[in-house]
Amino acid sequence: MYEILNERYPDWLDYEPEIIRELDLDEEMTESLFNKIMALQTAFVSQSDGEEFYFTDWRIFENITLSLNGIPPNFGEIEQAEPYELLGVHRLFEELKEVNYNESIINYMVASCKTEGIAAFPFIDRVNDKLEDTELKENTMKKWGGLSDNKIEVARKLSTDSPVNIQIKKLVYADAYADRLVERWI
Residues 69-86: tens digit of each pLDDT: 998 877 677 788 999 999
What is the chain's alpha carbon radius of gyration, rounded to the nearest angstrom?
18
Q: Mean pLDDT for the chain? A: 91
Q: How confident is the model at residue 6 (pLDDT cuts 50, 70, 90)?
A: very high
pLDDT tens, 81-130?
Answer: 999 999 999 999 999 999 999 999 999 999 999 999 999 999 999 999 99
What distance in Å separates the CA atoms of residue 40 and residue 107, rounded to the nearest whole number? Answer: 22
Task: State the helix-helix crossing angle for 58-68 and 31-46, rounded to 10 degrees.
Answer: 140
What distance in Å separates the CA atoms of residue 171 and residue 155, rounded to the nearest whole number? Answer: 9
Domain range enclosing 6: 2-185
β-partners of residue 98 are: 52
Number of structural domains found in the chain: 1
* Nearest in space to 91 (alpha carbons), one of 179, 168, 184: 179
Q: How far is CA 132 from CA 86, 107, 110, in A?
A: 19, 12, 10
Cβ density class 104-126: b for 16+ within 10 Å, e for less: ebbebbbebbeeeebbbbebbee
* Nearest in space to 106 (alpha carbons), one of 74, 83, 72, 137: 83
What distance in Å separates the CA atoms of residue 17 and residue 4, rounded to the nearest whole number? Answer: 17
What distance in Å separates the CA atoms of residue 88 and residue 86, rounded to the nearest whole number? Answer: 5
β-partners of residue 101 are: 55
What distance in Å separates the CA atoms of residue 29 and residue 33, rounded to the nearest whole number? Answer: 6
